[in-house]
Homo-oligomer: A and B are copies of this chain.
């Protein structure tokens, strides 16, 4: 891939510094010398984990997503605390959301969610050898836990019942793992 596609940052202005969303308006120099504005959402990054139980079922969480305006079925996930190791965050989120601690944590890869304006990776993991171990959940988090076979997860991706990109990407990576 040619470097003649690259852009150079000329300026970066903070527009809004929120709890989750940090919005910047950047000015960049294009490959043809013109300048352009780029709206950028900076975010500390996140993890998402496929927890696989001893029977080969995926443990998923249902929660109301205000942005989508509906309840979504997703793999457990969470935002990195400042400076937090993604492996540590993955273990913490599993304990908070599904009350399980992984005996084995395997990196699946890293993905970008919105290449047009978001800066951060989501680190994807497979968690196995699960042991019950609950961490206190935020009292303002409301989550329901369910267990589905991988075939059932794929069926629900096909029907559109599971529509979350990080969940679909992570399940694809689990299926592509060497046996």
Contacts and interface: CB of A to CB of B under 8 A. Distances in A.
Interface of A: 1-7, 9, 15-16, 18-21, 23, 25-26, 28, 30-32, 34, 36-41, 62-69, 71-74, 79, 109-119, 121-122, 139-140, 142-144, 154, 157-158, 160, 163-166, 168-169, 171-173, 176
Q: Of A7, A36, A67, A168, which is in contact with the most chain B CB atoms at under 10 Å from its CB?
A: A67
Contact of A23 (B19, B21, B111, B164): B21
Q: Which DSSP category, helix, strand, loop or mixed, fits chain A's interface? A: mixed
Query: Top 4 nearest A-B pairs by Cβ distance?
Result: A172-B172, A165-B165, A168-B169, A5-B64
Nearest to A143: B5
Contact of A1 (B6, B15, B117, B144): B144
A41 B66 CA distance: 11
Q: Of A16, A18, A25, A116, which is in contact with the most chain B CB atoms at under 10 Å from its CB?
A: A116
Contact of A67 (B18, B31, B115): B115
Contacts of A34: 140
Nearest to A159: B109
